[in-house]
Amino acid sequence: MPREFEVMVNGARIGVTEDMTALVAIFLSGTTTLRRSVSGAPRGALCGMGVCFECRVTINGERYRRSCQVRCAQAMDIRTDE
Amino acid sequence: MKARAYDVVIIGAGIVGAACAWACANEGLRVAVIEADIVGGGATGAGMGHLVVMDDSEAQFALTRYSRSLWHRLATELPEEVEYDSCGTIWVAADEQEMNAVKRKKEFYEARGVQAEVLDAKALRAAEPNLREGLTGGLRVPGDAVIYAPCAARFFIERAQSRGAELYLPCVVTEITADGVRLNDGTAVAGHRVVNAAGTWSPMLTPGIEVKKRKGHLVITERYAGFAKHQLVELGYLKSAHSMTTESVAFNVQPRRTGQLLIGSSRQFNVEGEEADVNILRRMLARAAEFLPGVSRLSAIRSWTGFRAATPDKLPLIGPWPGRENLFLATGHEGLGITTSLGTAKLLVDQLLRREPEIPIAPYLSSRVPESVHA
């Protein structure tokens, strides 16, 4: 069984397992707007495989991480729409 | 139903063809623009969109300065999506030899009425804190600017259309005839004059033009507002741009109004493939990091390639093509077509209407004797 722990998504505690990506944690938190276009339009994950760059979020203070390419880790701090 | 009888048929809706279309339509000429792909889809969309005065030769200086002044006049009319940004250029000098070149450049510009300011090492760092320590100085040219060129091309086309110009798209011209052009579906589009503004494709329609493809790579980053404040170009860029050898890279970074950075540049001859070359990208990014060490920590989101339409003497071909009395050229702008599109359009219209141009036309005629490049 994969390990279970919590990550933070926009300040909320979300229970995940270690085989989930940060994107899954974000979806579990109920958020679908991950970032904004230059004109302010909401953007969300499209391809889920690292190609479209639409799932970029801030992870542990580092901006522009592709959340679909990052595995969850204990106490990870994920922030969307920054 | 399209008129099928034009005063001018322009082949190519890159920024040069688009600017020519607008200029011709403004004079009341009946204009057709024929584009094989999309507006601004070739070198126009692949390049940086730097509006820059260059001094490789007197003729290049005259055309870039003239064109930049036309951009200045147009700036307030440009729609938002053109992203006009009067950020200026800093030519960066890495050593004393390049600093001497900065001083010569300053004198050259000043003598010809173009504002430029010499920066010492300290002033350079103050202007661009992300440049590495130990650079010798630079030359700031505040009148230079940046645009998003494909949207400028589209704006020119729309203006031309509002003056009656007709856009054929997507339509491929296969032949320039004595009374217009022929399309690949056999249709003839009749025109009194034909303008070949097809960039890298122009030699296919007008064999004998000395225009060769010169490949370039670009990278664009995420948004990092304020990372660079001017377009930053190494003075050594001239060595790269002048080199007619097979490949070279140079530090050339442009801040976009979105906060993104465009990172260039590369030049390669005799390469046909459109794919990005990882080794060239690596060299280009390493060169950028030599000047802006922080670049290595930024995230890039796209890279792509494009082809410049290069002539042997670095000057475009603007004007009649000898031996074909209905044919005019507006091609061969290499890396300066965004800047010089507006000047090209003026010079072309002046020739079509047999008017006196505002700058001497001789250096851009295909019949020219090449001026030696001095820089």
Alpha-carbon span A25 to A15, nearest angstrom: 8
**Across the interface, do A53 and B258 touch by the CB < 8 Å criterion?**
no
List, for residues B251-308, the tens digit of each pLDDT value: 999 999 999 999 999 999 989 999 999 999 999 999 999 999 999 999 999 999 999 9
B15-26 and B149-162 are packed helices; what angle lies between their axes, rounded to 10 degrees? Answer: 30
Predicted local confidence at residue B246, as pLDDT? 77
Q: Locate the chain A residue with the closest alpha carbon to B83.
A: A38
Predicted local confidence at residue A1, as pLDDT? 86
List, for residues B326-370, the tens digit of each pLDDT value: 999 999 999 999 999 999 999 999 999 999 999 999 999 998 865
CA nearest neighbour of B105 among B284, B276, B238, B247:
B238
In angstroms, the separation between the Cα of residue B258 and the nearest Cα of chain A is 6
What residues of chain A lie within 8 A of the CB of B301, using their CB?
53
Q: What percent of chain B has pLDDT over 90?
A: 92
Indicate whether this model's pTM tops 0.90.
Answer: yes
CA nearest neighbour of B214 among B46, B366, B61, B58:
B46
The answer, for B299 touching chain A at a CB cutoff of 8 Å, is: yes
What residues of chain B lie within 8 A of the CB of A40, using their CB?
none
In angstroms, the separation between the Cα of residue A38 and the nearest Cα of chain B is 6
- Arithmetic mean of pLDDT over chain B: 94
Alpha-carbon span B332 to B60, nearest angstrom: 13
Predicted local confidence at residue B373, as pLDDT? 46
Predicted local confidence at residue B369, as pLDDT? 63
Predicted confidence band of residue B150 (pLDDT cuts 50, 70, 90): very high
| Chain A: residues touching B (Cβ < 8 Å) | 38, 53, 56, 63-64
